[in-house]
Amino acid sequence: MSSDTGRAILEVDLAAVVANWRTLRAHHPSGPVAAVLKADGYGLGARPVAEALHSAGCRHFFVAYLSEALAVREVIPGAMLAVLSGLVPGEENAYLAHDLTPVLGSLDEIARWGGREAILHVDTGMSRLGLDARELAVLAQDHGRLGRLTIRYVMSHLVSSELPDDPLNRMQRERFAAARAMLPPAPGSLANSSGIFLGPEFGSDLARAGAALYGINPIPGRPNPMRGVARLAVRVLAVRDVPAGASVGYNATWIAPRPTRIATAAMGYADGFHRSLSGRGAACFDGTPIALVGRISMDLTTFDVTDHPGVQPGCWLELMGPHLSPDDVAAASGTNGYEVLTSLGRRLHRVYRSA
């Protein structure tokens, strides 16, 4: 057990992850919903998340890199486990040995892959990975380049699916349909978390859900249909009184406007609590918000608890949970919920609940 179990705890509700997966399946009747486990399950633990979803019936999984696939393969036996970032030269044998599915995004990758099954990635607007228009045209002219390859899915990735009125969504859907028509018949995979909520015309044979599984709102600006998954609690190390005019934290960026009680909590940017939250973030105590004051440092953060006499050394403050979602924290720090979760540091003691 970590020596920091009394300092900061990240509690992950695996039952909520499973419930979110089932909600996403209900919104994607055209085919199953795969679970994206990249970045260690969006910072929450890829292995326990994968095991819980596999036990619930999920049979399609995606990661970003080969190392991530190797870390979870044993807990999801028999499931499709695909690697999104392409086939790096020299890794082919590892894919074969561990029954992994490469996502091929170039003619070179297709030529190098000696396996029987793969996913083809077509770029329809992201301009990162995937067959571009030139490569797609070459492949359309000569299906023989595929050799004995079985295309398990043709996939693409939506650029702006969280913005339902963005014309890019329709354009990509049309480009994806045109690309599939140029290739041998194969199932398709288009919708990500937000794409699942764009409507049935964005349904395909396989959706790929990431952020929504972990409680991030896939439909910003509307009520979140997902259950909260992560609760981050941090211990108060000290409470002290400072006079009006006293500064708190590095560079004296905050000056007490009155006699003030300051609680120092055992959490800092080394734990993934972004420095950009300085002077903008908050914690909750018994459901009541408490202002973050001063500059977040590597290991410590300070809060104004003048109006919260119940806060004493040893108390727990909620930094994320029922009263502060990842999206709330992201809004305060000027980022998105993805970065908030994937930044959570290794020093946090992780606890998993399945019921």
pLDDT at 4: 56
Confidence check: pLDDT of 145 > 70: yes
Average pLDDT over residues 94-104: 97
**3-state class of 339 per DSSP?**
helix
pLDDT at 116: 87
- List, by residue number, the catalytic residues: 38, 250
pLDDT at 5: 62
Average pLDDT over residues 80-88: 96
Confidence check: pLDDT of 2 > 50: no
Question: What is the C-alpha separation between 24 and 193, in angstroms, rounded?
Answer: 8
Find out whether 193 and 139 touch, Cβ atoms under 8 Å: no
- Looking at this protein, which amino acid is placed at residue 15? A
- Looking at this protein, which amino acid is placed at residue 289? P
Question: What is the C-alpha separation between 279 and 258, in angstroms, rounded?
Answer: 17
pLDDT at 3: 47
Average pLDDT over residues 51-72: 98
Question: What is the C-alpha separation between 328 and 336, in angstroms, rounded?
Answer: 9
Domains and CATH numbers, the chain: 14-214 (3.20.20.10), 230-335 (2.40.37.10)
Confidence check: pLDDT of 355 > 90: no
Strand 188-189 to strand 150-155: parallel, antiparallel, or no bridges (unpaired)? parallel
pLDDT at 124: 97
Q: What backbone torsions phi and psi does residue 236 show, to the nearest 5 degrees?
A: -80, 125
Name the one residue in this structure whose structure tokens are 């937000």.
194
Q: Distance between alpha carbon 190 and the CA centroid of its chain, in Å?
A: 18
Average pLDDT, the chain: 95
Please spell the DSSP secondary structure of 40-83, one letter per residue. HHHTT-HHHHHHHHHHHT--EEEESSHHHHHHHGGGSTTSEEEE
pLDDT digits (tens, 9 = 90+) for 233-265: 999 999 999 999 999 999 999 999 999 999 999
Instruction: Pull the structure tokens for residue 119.
Output: 């996913």
pTM for the whole structure: 0.94
Question: What is the C-alpha separation between 308 and 189, in angstroms, rounded?
Answer: 51
Average pLDDT over residues 265-269: 97
pLDDT digits (tens, 9 = 90+) for 322-335: 999 999 999 999 99
Strand partners, 239: 263
Question: What is the C-alpha separation between 286 and 320, in angstroms, rounded?
Answer: 13
Find out whether 49 and 41 touch, Cβ atoms under 8 Å: yes
Average pLDDT over residues 133-147: 94
Q: Which of 168, 317, 171, 181 is nearest to 236 (CA)?
A: 317
